[in-house]
Amino acid sequence: MTKQERIEKQQYRLQEMLSFERELWSAGKEYIAGVDEVGRGPLAGPVVTAAVILPKDFSLLGVDDSKKLSPKRREELFEQIKEAAVCWAIGRREPDRIDEINILEATKEAMLDAVKALPVKPDHVLIDAVRLQGLDMPQTSIIKGDARSVSIAAASILAKVTRDREMVEMAGIYPGYAFESNKGYGTAAHYEGLRKLGPCPIHRKTFL
């Protein structure tokens, strides 16, 4: 594939992923927030959420579900999304809260925090897979939203890079679990660390 063909493919993909936003903009909604989470499955660390409002002339190519992107590409897009966005915000819930109320409810709380922390109030919120209680604006839950809405995909990248950077830091504080590579997920090295050391303060006790 030539460079021009790659660009054309990314341009087509962007237009495809703008369909939800375009429909809402056409209906007179000015500020559309995309919301996503990262970290529902790991054995350790927080669940991190992001909310982001993109401008109507958003044209950054390559934004997609964070799981489909290389770490290097996510890092690049992380900075570019922050620069291009109307505004963005991060939410989080710690392992003790996850253990207290379960991961789904903790995720919803963190999503709500991210939306409420946006400096600009959204007219509509697009959320990956869940519905939130307590929002005072309309919302749309989109299954596999991080692969179908550019706003949700952008939020997934912000959340992913934020959480990954933190887990690398945690590897220095709690060595022996390979957090720098597994980011808290249940790899062989992680389970070996648990066998040798037992859980550390950022482990989710209900996940072990």
**Residues 94-126 as b or e (16 or more Cβ within 10 Å = b):** bbebbeeeebeebbbbbbbbbbeebeeebbbbb
Which residue do the tokens 């934004």 mark?
63
* Per-residue model confidence as pLDDT tens digits over 117-159: 999 999 999 999 999 999 999 999 999 999 999 999 999 999 9
Which two three-digit tokens encode residue 175?
């060595």
Scan for tokens 């996850």, then name that residue.
98
Sign of the alpha-carbon dihedral angle for 43, 47, 48, 51: positive
Q: Is residue 177, in this structure, part of any structural domain at all?
A: no
**201 found inside a domain:** no
CATH code of the domain in which 101 resides: 3.30.420.10
pLDDT of residue 1: 83
Query: What's the CA gap between 122 and 136, in Å, rounded?
Result: 10
Classify residue 183: in a domain, yes or no.
no
* Averaged pLDDT score across all residues of the chain: 97
Judge whether 181 lies within some domain.
no
Distance CA 86, CA 33 (A): 10
pLDDT for residue 37: 98
Which residue segment(s) compose the domain that 103 sits in? 3-169
pLDDT score of 61 = 96
* Contacts (Cβ under 8 Å, ≥6 apart) of 131: 139, 141
Residue 179 lies in a domain: no
For residue 72, being part of any structural domain is answered with yes
**Looking at the 3D structure of the chain, how many domains does it have?**
1
Q: Which residue positions in the chain have pLDDT lower than 50?
A: none
The reported pLDDT for the residue numbered 48 is: 98
